[in-house]
């Protein structure tokens, strides 16, 4: 069994890709919906929440943990690795490698939560790969609430306005590749693409699934069960997650107190 966590819904972008690579292995997901968003919080709080999320998942017989959250991966990965006796996979390295491979003009954009941008983690990872890459980072704090509250249709006017405002700099800087540095963002990727036509988008959830495969290898088939846990009311998560996962997950989500 593999454990995956995020502050809310966003980590499902990783679950969807992990499911494709591990169709017969059980997955357990924890979305900390009672404390979302993480990205506006201090480093200390993010580390505390991440360690608690990890400990909860560790109560299952998991063999690896994916921090399917840009904020946790860029802020608390070292702390998680330090206490963990099983592999911990984040979203930063794989996404940086994918972006560096994709970009032709070496101008790469990074969007994420305030905490992710403040950490500079994606920027460092990109520069380590190629010091000549020009990195433009912009925090997009409204995107997470827009996704959590379901403003996700490709025609949503409010989301389009937020995208235009936040992504203007990316067009000005002529980035040809944009890292969606928060796992919530692929859910609004069609709106982002309308604002930045022709720019290649890097989905950190998908890249984390590939990284997981590199770290722990192929699946251990155990029936392929899917369990979801959240720390607040289950109904909103069930609705949004069912749409996102493309199957009705009602009834399989449980609420827990950490």
Kindly determine how many residues on this chain lie close enough to bind ligand DGL according to the rule CB under 6 A: 16
Could you confirm whether 182 is annotated as catalytic? yes
> Per rule CB under 6 A, is residue 159 in the interface with ligand DGL?
no
Closest separation in Å from C-beta 37 to ligand DGL: 3
Please enumerate in sequence order all residues whose Cβ is within 8 A of that of 178, keeping only pairs 6 or more positions apart, or say none.
108, 109, 110, 111, 170, 192, 196, 199, 200, 201, 202
Decide: helix, strand or coil at residue 95: helix
Could you confirm whether 140 is annotated as catalytic? no
**Cβ–Cβ < 8 Å for 81, 103:** no
Give me Rg for the CA atoms of the chain. 17
Neighbours of 160 (CB within 10 A): 18
> Per rule CB under 6 A, is residue 175 in the interface with ligand DGL?
no
For ligand DGL, which is the closer residue by CB, 31 or 135?
Answer: 31
Which residue of 2, 65, 125, 144 would you call a contact of ligand DGL, by CB under 6 A?
144
Buried b (16+ CB within 10 A) or exposed e, 220-239: eeeeeeeebbbbbebebbbe
Which residue of 3, 39, 90, 109 would you call a contact of ligand DGL, by CB under 6 A?
39
Binding to ligand DGL by CB under 6 A, coded x per residue (else -) over 99-118, reads: --------------x--x--
| Active-site hit among 12, 15, 69, 202 | 69
Closest separation in Å from C-beta 223 to ligand DGL: 28
- Kindly state the tokens that stand for 95: 């996404």
CA dihedral 61, 6, 210, 245 (to 10 degrees): 90
Closest separation in Å from C-beta 91 to ligand DGL: 7
> Per rule CB under 6 A, is residue 211 in the interface with ligand DGL?
no
Q: Which residues are catalytic?
A: 69, 182
């Amino acid at each position: 069994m593999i454990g995956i966590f995020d502050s809310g819904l966003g980590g499902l972008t990783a679950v969807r890709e992990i499911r494709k690579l591990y169709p017969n292995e059980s997955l357990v997901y924890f979305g900390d919906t009672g404390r979302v968003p993480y990205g506006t919080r201090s480093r200390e709080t993010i580390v505390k929440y991440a360690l608690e999320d990890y400990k909860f998942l560790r109560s299952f017989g998991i063999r690896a943990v994916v921090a399917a959250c840009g904020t946790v991966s860029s802020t608390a990965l070292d702390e998680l690795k330090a206490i963990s006796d099983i592999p911990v996979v984040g979203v930063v390295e794989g996404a940086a490698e994918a972006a560096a491979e994709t970009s032709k003009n070496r101008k790469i954009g990074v969007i994420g939560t305030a905490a992710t941008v403040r950490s500079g983690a994606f920027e460092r990872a990109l520069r380590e790969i190629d010091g000549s890459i020009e990195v433009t980072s912009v925090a997009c704090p409204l995107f997470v609430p827009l996704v959590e509250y379901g403003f996700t249709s490709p025609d949503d006017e409010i989301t389009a306005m937020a995208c235009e405002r936040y992504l203007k700099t990316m067009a000005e800087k002529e980035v040809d590749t944009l890292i969606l540095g928060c796992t919530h963002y692929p859910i609004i990727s069609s709106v982002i693409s309308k604002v930045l036509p022709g720019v290649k988008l890097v989905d950190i959830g998908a890249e984390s699934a590939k990284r997981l495969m590199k770290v722990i290898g192929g699946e251990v088939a155990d029936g392929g069960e899917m369990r979801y846990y959240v720390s607040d009311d289950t109904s909103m998560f069930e609705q949004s997650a069912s749409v996102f996962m493309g199957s009705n997950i009602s009834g399989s989500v449980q609420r827990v107190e950490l």
